[in-house]
Structure formats: C-alpha cells, structure tokens
Chains A and B, each alone.
Chain A
Amino acid sequence: EDQVTQSPEALRLQEGESSSLNCSYTVSGLRGLFWYRQDPGKGPEFLFTLYSAGEEKEKERLKATLTKKESFLHITAPKPEDSATYLCAVPPRYGGSQGNLIFGKGTKLSVKP
C-alpha cells in the first residue's frame, strides 16, 4: 500500500534554531514528491516539487532534499512566521489522474521568538 509518513508530528523550535522534518514514502516509481505548508484554517500552499534522488530545492529559509526512500525539509534559522503544519505528498503508483495526491499527516512546527 502506498504510504507517506512524516516525523516528528510536532516540533517546537526557538527562533534561529535550525532543524529538519522528515517524510518517508513507500510508493515505488516515484512521480514526484510535494511539500506544502498549511496554516490553521487554510488550504495547503505549495512549496516544492522534487522528482529524483539527489535533487534539492530552496526557498528562503527552507530547503527540500530527496533520496530514494525519504525527503527532508530543512529549516535554517527559522522565524515565528515559519510556524505552520508542513505536509508531504506523493502521487500513488497506480492511477494516472493528475493531482491525486497521498498526503502525510504533517509536522506541526512552532517557532518561538
């Protein structure tokens, strides 16, 4: 069964304290791994797509990396405004429909000033 598992479930950081979030997946024949940010009461907001092992993408204080089994979202010197739930998602192995994504439960990040 295709699965996406994120850890930790929750992470509390002090402002400026760098850390990483993990996303492991069991889908074979990966057709892309997506990171989204979700603020309370809002829909997910796209951050990155990674397609192949070794690929890295950066946006401000965030950097996403991908291996054959997992992805990491590295947060460097976070600020309170980085507080959100970070979601990882992959398309299932079977099912050709565009936009059918399997989401993880997310990591809730809290950054204290």
Chain B
Amino acid sequence: EPEVTQTPSHQVTQMGQEVILRCVPISNHLYFYWYRQILGQKVEFLVSFYNNEISEKSEIFDDQFSVERPDGSNFTLKIRSTKLEDSAMYFCASSDMGANEKLFFGSGTQLSVL
C-alpha cells in the first residue's frame, strides 16, 4: 500500500538554526499538509498546500515557517530560526480528494531544539 514517507525520523538542532523537514507524499495525491504534535498535546494543523501554493495556514505558521514542493515528489517544511517551543513531532500528510476526505499521514519527524 502506498505511504507517505518522512525524513529524517529524528532531528536535533540548536536554537536559531534552520531546519528542513522532508516528505514524499503519495504519488497521485494533490493536496499536502503539515501538522505538528507537541508531546502530550493535540495534533495541530499548520498548513495546507495545493497547486503549488499555500491554500490555508494556521496562526502557528508564522514567517519563520515556509513550505515548498521543489520537484514532483518532495514536499518540505522549513523553519528558518528554530525556537525551543518548535520542539515537536511534525507530520506530513497528503490526500487525493481535498475537503472532507481522509488524510494519509507519515510517521513523522521528531524535532528537538536545544
């Protein structure tokens, strides 16, 4: 069964450094998302991406965050200057139908900011 692949599975970085989290969505999917989950808290929506542009973003997704689909297969989340509070599990997801259809999530990247 096709799956969403995320790399790396763990990322440790120093505060203020830039990180790029990578995702390979399911190949025929058109909608892409990033979510995050701080330890012990809810899964939170960050951003959705369709047709090579952001379609919606949450308040969490400020100017320090950006997303890109640099080629036909990868989808990335960049955090320009990491903060301690950015430490979380980041999940990439994709779907083929958009609204009200199921999301396929990757296994996540655990980001630790020291």
Name A's B-contacting residues (CB within 8 A): 31-32, 34, 38, 41-46, 49, 51, 87, 89, 91, 95-106
Contact = CB atoms under 8 A, between A and B. Distances in A.
Interface in B25-67: 31, 33, 41-45, 48, 50, 55-56, 58
Contacts of B44: 103
Given A98-B55, A99-B93, A99-B95, A46 B102 contact: yes
B75 interface: no
Given A44-B91, A97-B48, A99-B45, 20 more contacts: A31-B99, A31-B100, A32-B100, A41-B107, A41-B108, A44-B105, A46-B104, A87-B43, A89-B43, A91-B99, A95-B56, A98-B95, A99-B33, A99-B93, A100-B33, A100-B48, A101-B103, A103-B42, A103-B43, A105-B42
Binding site of A, secondary structure by majority: helix, strand, loop or mixed? Answer: loop
Nearest to B33: A99
Nearest to A38: B43
A32 B100 CA distance: 6
25 contacts: A42-B107, A42-B108, A43-B4, A43-B106, A43-B108, A44-B103, A46-B102, A51-B100, A87-B43, A89-B43, A97-B55, A97-B56, A98-B99, A99-B33, A99-B48, A99-B98, A99-B103, A100-B33, A100-B45, A100-B48, A100-B58, A101-B45, A101-B103, A103-B42, A105-B42
Interface string B87-114: 0000101010111111111111000000
A87 B4 CA distance: 19
A42 B6 CA distance: 11
A44 B43 contact: yes
Given A41-B107, A42-B107, A98 B101 contact: yes
Nearest to B91: A43
A42 B104 CA distance: 12
Contacts of B42: 103-106
